[in-house]
């Protein structure tokens, strides 16, 4: 029998709190949707930051979260579309643009970019 965990989600944008039960072998987003919870998402494969959350407590496993850098994962960010609970978890949704800026802001918006690196103004 697969263990389940309680996942508490604070949807900051919609000012809602949800509590769902999620088996360890199921993605949190999919399980939440199956329980009637409407959360933000886009790609469903861990490549964007639309479903990004900040983990407030608990442990998640997210091996397919290619849309988050290791640094952001270490700082407590996760993608619900590819996250499995490993304990009871408390998370809060994040603004997609804020997470994108945290991850890529050092590369974009700082002048010309060539081969992924900012260049001095010509």
> What's the whole-number average pLDDT of the chain?
88
Q: Which backbone phi and psi does 16 adopt, to 5 degrees?
A: -125, 150
Residue 65's CATH number: 3.10.20.30
Domain of residue 62: give its range. 4-118
Give the chain's domain count.
1
Residue 122 has pLDDT above 80, yes or no: no
DSSP string, 69-95: -HHHHHTTEEEGGG-EESS-EEEEE--
Percent of the chain with pLDDT over 70: 86
When comparing pLDDT for 97 and 71, which is higher? Answer: 71
Query: What does the pLDDT read at residue 9?
Result: 98
Residue 84 has pLDDT above 90, yes or no: yes
Q: Please, which pLDDT band fits residue 35 given cuts at 50, 70 and 90?
A: very high
pTM above 0.95, yes or no: no
Q: What is the mean pLDDT of residues 4-11?
A: 97
Query: What does the pLDDT read at residue 104?
Result: 76
Among 47, 75, 31, which residue's Cα sits nearest to residue 39? 31
Query: What does the pLDDT read at residue 73?
Result: 93
DSSP string, 24-54: TTS-HHHHHHHTT-----SSSSSSSSTTEEE
């Amino acid at each position: 029998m697969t263990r389940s965990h309680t996942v508490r989600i604070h949807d900051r944008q919609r000012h809602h709190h949800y509590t769902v039960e999620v088996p360890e072998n199921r993605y949190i987003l999919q399980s939440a949707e199956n329980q009637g919870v409407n959360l933000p998402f886009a790609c469903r494969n861990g490549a964007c930051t639309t479903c990004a959350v900040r983990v407030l407590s608990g442990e998640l496993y997210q091996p397919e979260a290619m849309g988050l850098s290791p640094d952001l994962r270490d700082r407590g960010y996760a993608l619900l579309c590819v996250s499995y609970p490993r304990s009871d978890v408390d998370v809060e949704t994040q603004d997609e643009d804020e997470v994108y800026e945290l991850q890529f802001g050092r590369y974009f918006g700082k002048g010309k970019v060539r081969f992924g690196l900012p260049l001095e103004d010509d």
